[in-house]
Structure 1
Amino acid sequence: AQVVISSRKAGPCEEVAAEINARYGPGRAIAVPANIAEKADLQRLVDETNAAFGKIDILVCNAASNPYAGPMGGITDDQFNKILQNNVISNHWLIQMAAPQMLERRDGSIIIVSSIGGLRGNALIGAYNVSKAADMQLARNLAVEWGPSNVRVNCIAPGLVQTDFAKYLWENPEILKTVTEPAPLKRIGQPHEIAGAAVYLASPASTFMTGQTLVVDGGVTIAW
């Protein structure tokens, strides 16, 4: 694949692109920084991708925000709006910008990174979970709309993964124990284990799968 790396800060994007190019050859990856909350940034991301590589075959919506942890009664309107904007509406924007060419070619895979939080209640990150449940429904709706044009839309629902984004959860010994103790694999996930699921959904191996949520959580949702 030729890959576009995008996030809010240019530096980390460029580091990842450089690593890919060093491993697989020049021109395999580029960095296009974008703020998911800015519609113009997302359009620029799509335009620069098309300019560099000619088309978009695969879209992975992986960015998200969670500025609040605690009972939902304590969340401010601004915090709730930010969660819904960045985790749902921005996904909708970017997908609508990238999908027309997929529909025209009758080929494409769209992957939304949701969370197992969208499948269950939680007293700490309830608003975030609301947004992740909405992402699952977004995938289902678009899968129904675009299936006849052979464009697939699926979600990945990770459990707790050892990323900077989730640091406030896995660095808390009590929360870590609550998550890992009932899980069959007895540990949290690593980023490459979610990447493997994305590779599957992006590849021809998954061409008969659409509208689904692929749970990758070490088994925590099947254990009591």
Structure 2
Amino acid sequence: MQIFGVDIGGSGIKGAPVDLDRGDLTEERHKVLTPHPATPDAVADGVKEVVGHFGWTGPVGITFPGVVADGATIRTAANVDKAWIDTDARALLGDRLGGLPVTVLNDADAAGVAEMQFGAGRDRRGTVLLLTFGTGIGSALFVDGELVPNTELGHLELGGHDAEKRASTKAKEDNELTWEHWARRVTKYLAHVEMLFSPELFIIGGGVSRKADRFLPLIEGIKAEIVPAQLQNNAGIVGAAMRAAKTAS
């Protein structure tokens, strides 16, 4: 079974058809840059371009980098335009896609769902936290395999700032931090999250997971196991498609 997944991020909008039996993309993903300002209409146009690239006409799962209430209404918009707040994303995106069935969920939740089914969290019980490092820091919390949605732990305070302003991949790039310096910031963040939630496993996702060997060995003093996401930066696309398939059924 194939379903289309789209992952809306602070820097890019990417998508592809997904084979739900394998948890993998069936074609090379198509990506467009996230518009600036990332208003609802502008982002919806980007989603339309990505889906239209494949000529897709079936259900579409779409992630959003913020809290999504009731699978539709946007409640937070840290890394896109504030005009998204209180927008019915499901209605907007469904209309822009010509009435295709649309499912919307938080981006990190989507990545987490995919990793728990097909990746590093497969068959893991207890408390598992997936953290995506990119433009911001997304989080997906699982207890015995069940998702606790919309946790948004990237906005915990760290050093007087939102954690994602200090420890995201964007913070590393903007401040030209070495891997060692950035790993120290990530370590402080993980220690804070560990103190609050006591997870057995941290899964580190986002684009930086491709370079896990550059920074994971530098993280020390964390009791939980720490592993890179296996689906890497495709996890959000796969998770979005999984949720769309569940909704469609």
Decide which structure has greater helix share: 1
Query: Relative contact order (alpha carbons < 8 A, sep ≥ 6): 1 or 2 greater?
Result: 2
TM-score (norm 2): 0.38
